[in-house]
Chain A
C-alpha cells in the first residue's frame, strides 16, 4: 500500500508508527512476563461467576467455564506471537537464501527455484496448512513450521526480485572486479540491500501468519495450547455469542490492534525505505 505523502513527510516515520511499535513492545513484554504478573491461570476454571461480563476482578469477563478471558488473551498472545515469529524467521532464512541465490546466479537455478515458488503460491495456503497439520501433529512446532513453509514463497520472491534489481549494479560489479568470491558478494554486498525490503515484508508477514494460525484454529487444526484463534473459536458458538459475546470479541479486539500495528509499522517502513515490490 502506498500512502501518498509529501516528500518531507515520507521521510519521517510519524508518531502513529511509534504508537504501533509501542503497542507491540507492551504486548511482547506482557506476554513474556505473563507468569510473573498477578493474573489468573488461563486454564483455571471458576475464577469468577461463569459467563459474567467484564468487571474489576475479570477485566475481560469470564467464559462458560468461568475461566478468566483476560488471562487467556494474554497467554494466547504468547502462542500467537511465537507462531508468527517462528514462521517469518524461517521464511526469511529459507526463502531469503533461495531467492538471493536464484536472483544472483540466474540460469537454470533461477528457473527451478522460481517454479517452486510459483507452485507454492498457486497452492491455496490454508489447504496446504490443512494437509500438513493433518498429516503430522498439532504441536506448536508443526503449526509454526507449516506457516513457515507458506512464508517461504512470498519472501523468496521479494528477495529474488530485489537481488535481480541490484545484482548488476556498479557496487556489485566493482566487488566482482576486485576478485571477491560469490559468497562474499552475496553476504557483504547483496544481503544488506535485500534485507531492508524483507524486514518490512516480515512485519506484514507476521500479521498474516498470526491470522493464518487463527484460521487453522477455526478448522480445529491448530495448536493444542491456548492461542488467540483457539479462544475466539471457543467463544463463537451461537449460545456463547448471544450470552457472553466478550469471550470472542475481546481477543478479537486484541488481535485486531496487534495486526493493525504490524501492518502499519510494516507499511511505514516500506514507505520509509521506498520499497517497490513489483521490481523484476
Chain B
C-alpha cells in the first residue's frame, strides 16, 4: 500500500511540475509584462539605454519618457526577475510558492494569495455541490435502472441520459437560466452572497448545470457495473436469506459496483474545472474561473500562472484521493 501510494505521489508531483512549467513558459509569449509594470516606456531597448549611458542619446526619446527611465526599467526587471531566463524564473517562482508567496498582480498590485483566498472557496463550493447533486441523482437513478434492466424504465432512462450527455454545459446553463430564473423566477440569475442561504440558492442552478451531464455519465457506469454485480453468488445468497430488494441493492451490491464511478469521478474533475470556467461566466460567479479569464484578458501573467497552479494542485490531489478510495474499494489494487 505504502509503495503504491508513493509511486502515485511521485507521478502526480511530476504532472504538477510539467503543467505549471508549460503554463509558465507559454505565458512568456503573452504580450509584455514589463508594459504593465512601467507603461509605455517599456519599449525602450537595452541598446538605447546603453546609448544613453554613453551619452550618445538623450534620455527623452519616448512619449512618456524622461531622465531616469532606464534605471526604472532595470529596477522593475530585477525586482520581478524579468532579466533572468525562464527556467531560473520558474525555479524562483516554485520556491516562493511553496513558501506561500505567490507574488503580486502586475496590473493592480494585489497580493495573489489574497485573490486565491477570495476566489477559491466559491469555486470549491460550486464544484462540491455539483458533485453532490450528480451523485444524489445518479445513485438512485442507476439503482432503479439496473434493478429491472432492459425494461421500460431502463429503456427510457437510457434515452434520457443519452440526450443529457448531448447537451453542451453552456447550453444547459442558458436553458436553466431561462426557465428557472427568468421565466419562473425560482432562483436568482446572478451570484449573490448575503449569508449562506442566499449563496446556496444562487449556486444551485450553476451546480445543476454542471451536475446533470455528470449524473448521466455516473448513472450509465453504475448501471452497467450493478448489472454485473447482481449476477454474483453473494447477491443470490442475500436473496435466498430473504433480504429485501432495497437492502440488497444499497447494502450489498452498491459498494462493489462503484469502481467505474470512482475512477471517472477523478478523471472528470478536470472536465468539471473547465466546465466551471464557463458556468461561472454565465452566472457571474466570482470564482477562480472568472478571475482566470479576467487575468488572461488583462494580460496578468503572475495571476494566471498562480491560478493554473491552484487548478493543477486541485486536480492532482483529487486524483490521488481517488486512487486511495479505489484501493479501499478493491484490495487487489493495492498490490498492483
Is A255 part of the binding interface, using a Cβ–Cβ cutoff of 8 Å?
yes
Q: Do A264 and B293 touch across chains, with their CB atoms under 8 A apart?
A: no
- Residues of B with C-beta under 8 A to A252: 171, 174-175
Cβ of B96 to closest chain A Cβ, rounded Å: 21
Give Cα distance in the complex from A264 to B178, angstroms.
27
Q: A256-B171, A259-B168, A263-B162 are in contact. Are A241 and B177 (CB under 8 A)?
A: yes
In the assembled complex, the Cα of A19 lies from the Cα of B163 at a distance in Å of 15
CB-nearest residue of chain B relative to A251? B171
Q: A232 to B170, Cβ gap below 8 A?
A: yes
Q: Using a CB-CB cutoff of 8 Å, which residues 142-170 of chain A contact chain B?
A: none
- Whether A280 is near chain B, meaning CB under 8 Å from some CB there, is no
**Cross-chain contact B315 with A124 (CB below 8 angstroms):** yes
CA separation between A132 and B308, bound complex, in Å? 13
> By the criterion CB–CB under 8 Å, are B278 and A2 in contact?
no
A124:B274 contact, CB within 8 angstroms: yes
- B333 within 8 Å of A (CB atoms): no
* B226 at interface, CB cutoff 8 A: no
Q: Cβ of B170 and Cβ of A215 under 8 Å apart?
A: yes
Interface residue stretch chosen among B18-26, B118-126, B191-199: B18-26
A interface residues, tally (CB under 8 Å)? 45
Q: Contact at B278–A219, with CB atoms within 8 Å?
A: yes
Contact A123–B19 (Cβ < 8 Å): yes
Q: Is the interface of A mostly helix, strand, loop or mixed?
A: helix
Instruction: Give B293's nearest chain A residue, CB to CB.
Output: A219
Given contacts A1-B162, A252-B174, contact A119 B27 (CB under 8 A): no
A263 touches B278 (CB 8 A): no
Please name all residues of chain A whose beta carbon is closer than 8 Å to the beta carbon of B292 when the two chains form the complex.
127, 130
Query: Which among B167, B273, B278, B315 has the highest number of chain A CB atoms within 10 Å?
Result: B278
Provide the bound-state CA to CA distance between A256 and B170, in Å: 11
Q: Are A130 and B296 in contact (CB under 8 A)?
A: yes
B220 in contact with A1 (CB, 8 Å): yes
Say whether B158 faces chain A, with CB atoms less than 8 Å apart.
yes
Measured CA separation A252–B273 after assembly (Å): 22
Does B311 count as interface, using CB distance less than 8 angstroms?
yes
Q: Give Cα A220–Cα B319 distance, bound, in whole angstroms.
A: 30
Residue-wise, chain B 127-149 has the 8 Å CB interface mask toward A (1 for contact) of 00000000000000000000001
Query: Do A125 and B150 touch across chains, with their CB atoms under 8 A apart?
Result: no
Does A248 make an interface contact (CB < 8 A)? yes
Indicate if B80 sits at the interface (CB-CB under 8 A). no
Is A236 within 8 A of B168, CB to CB?
A: no
A240 CB to closest chain B CB (Å) equals 10
Asked if B281 contacts A232 (CB within 8 A), the reply is no
- A219 & B26 in contact (Cβ 8 Å cutoff): no
Q: Is B182 an interface residue (CB 8 A)?
A: yes
- Residue B15 at the A interface, CB < 8 A? yes
**Once bound together, how far apart are the Cα atoms of A3 and B223, in whole Å?**
11
Please tell me if the beta carbons of A134 and B162 are within 8 angstroms of each other in the complex.
no
Contact A122 B274 (CB under 8 A): no
Q: Is the CB of B270 within 8 A of A130?
A: no
B167–A127 touching, CB < 8 Å = no
Tell me how far the C-beta of B135 lies from the nearest C-beta in chain A, rounded to whole angstroms.
19
**CA distance in complex: A121, B250 (Å):** 33
In the complex, whether B78 has a CB less than 8 A from a CB of chain A is: no
Q: List the B residue with the shortest CB-CB distance to A242.
A: B182
| A238 CB within 8 Å of chain B | yes
Q: How far is the CA of A242 from the CA of B174 in the complex (A)?
A: 12
B9 close to chain A: CB less than 8 A? no
Judging by beta carbons under 8 Å apart, are A263 and B166 in contact?
yes
Chain B 290-332 near chain A by CB (<8 Å), digits 1 or 0: 0011001100000010001001100110010000000000000
- Is A229 a contact of B178 with CB atoms below 8 Å? no
A259 and B165 CA atoms in complex are apart in Å by 9
Query: Which residue of B168, B281, B311 contacts A127 across the interface (Cβ within 8 Å)?
Result: B311
Interface centre among A4, A232, A263 (most CB of B within 10 A): A4
Report chain B residues within 8 Å CB of A241: 174, 177-178, 182
Contact B277 A130 (CB under 8 A): yes
**Given A241-B177, A260-B163, A214–B281 Cβ distance below 8 Å?**
no
Which one of A2, A118, A134, A218 lies within 8 Å of B30 (CB-CB)?
A134
Report if A218-B282 is in contact (Cβ < 8 Å); known contacts: A238-B189, A252-B175: yes
Q: Do B271 and A125 touch (CB < 8 A)?
A: yes
Complex alpha-carbon distance, A236 and B14, angstroms: 40
From known contacts A134-B297, A229-B170, infer whether A127 and B15 are also in contact, taking CB-CB under 8 Å.
no
The complex places the Cα of A221 from the Cα of B273 at a distance, in Å, of: 17
* B166 lies within 8 A of A207 (CB): yes
Specify which of B150, B171, B277 lies most central, judged by the most chain A CB atoms within 10 Å of its CB.
B171
Chain A nearest Cβ from B160, distance in angstroms: 12
Chain B residues contacting A245 (CB-CB under 8 Å) are 178
Say whether B171 contacts A232, CB under 8 Å: yes
Q: Does A135 belong to the interface (CB within 8 Å)? A: yes
For the complex with contacts A127-B311, A252-B171, 9 further pairs of A-B residues with Cβ separation under 8 Å are A1-B220, A4-B149, A119-B15, A124-B273, A126-B277, A130-B296, A238-B189, A252-B175, A256-B168
Interface residues of A (CB under 8 A from B): 1-4, 115, 118-119, 121-127, 130-132, 134-135, 207, 211, 214-215, 218-221, 229, 232-233, 236, 238, 241-242, 245, 248-249, 252, 255-256, 259-260, 263-264, 267
Sample (28) of A-B pairs whose CB atoms are under 8 Å apart: A1-B165, A3-B158, A119-B15, A122-B315, A122-B319, A123-B19, A123-B22, A124-B273, A125-B270, A125-B271, A126-B273, A126-B274, A127-B292, A127-B311, A130-B277, A130-B293, A131-B304, A134-B297, A215-B168, A215-B169, A220-B297, A232-B171, A233-B170, A242-B182, A248-B174, A249-B175, A256-B171, A259-B168
